[in-house]
Amino acid sequence: MKNLIEEIKNLKEEKNAIILAHSYQNIEIDQVADFVGDSLYLSQKAKETNADIIVFAGVYFMAQTAKIISPEKKVLLPNLNAGCLMADMINHEQMVEFKKDYPDTPVVCYINSTAEVKAECDICCTSSNALDIVKSLNTQKVLFIPDANLGKWVERQLNGVEVITYDGNCPVHNSVTVEDIKNTRTKYPDSKILIHPECKPEVSELGDYVGSTSGIIDYVRNSHDKKFVIVTEKGVYDRLKRDYPDKEFILIKNNMLCDSMKLTTLDEILYSLKYGVNEITLDDEVRRLSSNCIERMLKVSK
């Protein structure tokens, strides 16, 4: 593995490439990554970089987002089968149908969606900034796609704003139940429960903290508490265990695994970078329209 890592690092330098890795990736990928984080953080890095090539260790919509933001760069997704079940729940046709009945209502689109769907929306958001994005619209009613759980969570936080949600979800986070949280609270009464807002809103209600993957990691970093229950994908738990050996972490359930996120391997990163394969391309018009949606988000989240 040492040789593999060295070879990837050398290639990065030779080709002026960077590797962006999502916090749900297999943890060994951090050894070659320039930046590791959540969707918002990685989008910002994709925009700022002077690299010629971005290798995205993540899922398809993330690499597509990097390409939307940085069209002049070559963006590679080492494993093209790495999709997102939530993003796949709404296609362009379903998007057009969904907003047809609400002609004057702004549409907020969670970043976990395809470029074709983003092209139909007014502004993008991530789980880090969803509240600020909806607030920035200064309106009483918004459409929110595709994650119903995140949309309803935002509605609960904002008194008086109606959030009309599409019926999508992340099966990994959606599988957590109120009983799971209550049982864990009973078993570990002295722990803090940290929940990702892709969980059902009635689950999120029971957390000591609700936030994005970066938010959860920041919470642990800044907390004097010693024991935490992690209610999101296992990659976050793995990194917290590695980075905070003096603290104790409990993963809410063993099956908090996103299969797509775990597809990418170091071998595939090497192959993709070495031969420049698995490049993301976009139709010009889709890129232009979806770019408006993402740029508006980045302005609000500066």
- Footprint of ligand SF4 (CB under 6 A): 24, 59, 84-86, 112, 170, 172, 233, 258, 260-261
- Closest distance of CB 238 from ligand SF4, Å: 14
Task: Say if residues 201 and 163 touch (Cβ distance below 8 Å).
Answer: no
Task: Say if residues 8 and 43 touch (Cβ distance below 8 Å).
Answer: no
Q: Cα–Cα distance between 208 and 194 in angstroms, integer?
A: 6
- Closest distance of CB 291 from ligand SF4, Å: 22
- Closest distance of CB 172 from ligand SF4, Å: 5
- Closest distance of CB 16 from ligand SF4, Å: 28
Contacts of 268 (CB under 8 A, 6+ apart): 78, 79
Beta bridge mates, 108: 123, 144
- Closest distance of CB 26 from ligand SF4, Å: 13
Q: Which is nearer to ligand SF4, 12 or 56 (CB)?
A: 56
- Closest distance of CB 197 from ligand SF4, Å: 11
- Closest distance of CB 15 from ligand SF4, Å: 27
Q: Which is nearer to ligand SF4, 40 or 84 (CB)?
A: 84
Task: Say if residues 122 and 107 touch (Cβ distance below 8 Å).
Answer: yes
Q: Which is nearer to ligand SF4, 112 or 126 (CB)?
A: 112
Task: Say if residues 148 and 169 touch (Cβ distance below 8 Å).
Answer: yes
Q: Which is nearer to ligand SF4, 142 or 150 (CB)?
A: 150
CA torsion through residues 192, 195, 200, 201, sign: positive
For residue 230, CA distances in Å to 26, 86, 113 come to 17, 21, 25
Task: Say if residues 286 and 114 touch (Cβ distance below 8 Å).
Answer: no
- Closest distance of CB 260 from ligand SF4, Å: 5
- Closest distance of CB 112 from ligand SF4, Å: 5
Task: Say if residues 82 and 286 touch (Cβ distance below 8 Å).
Answer: no
Q: Which is nearer to ligand SF4, 184 or 232 (CB)?
A: 232
The one-letter code for the residue type at 203 is: V
Q: Which is nearer to ligand SF4, 8 or 64 (CB)?
A: 64
Cis status, amide bond into 201, omega within 30 of 0: no
DSSP 168: B
Q: Which is nearer to ligand SF4, 8 or 256 (CB)?
A: 256
Q: Which is nearer to ligand SF4, 68 or 84 (CB)?
A: 84
Structure token digits, residue 118 = 């983003």
DSSP string across 118-146: HTT-SEEE-TTTHHHHHHHT--SEEEEES
Q: Which is nearer to ligand SF4, 88 or 202 (CB)?
A: 88
For residue 46, CA distances in Å to 19, 65, 70 come to 10, 9, 7
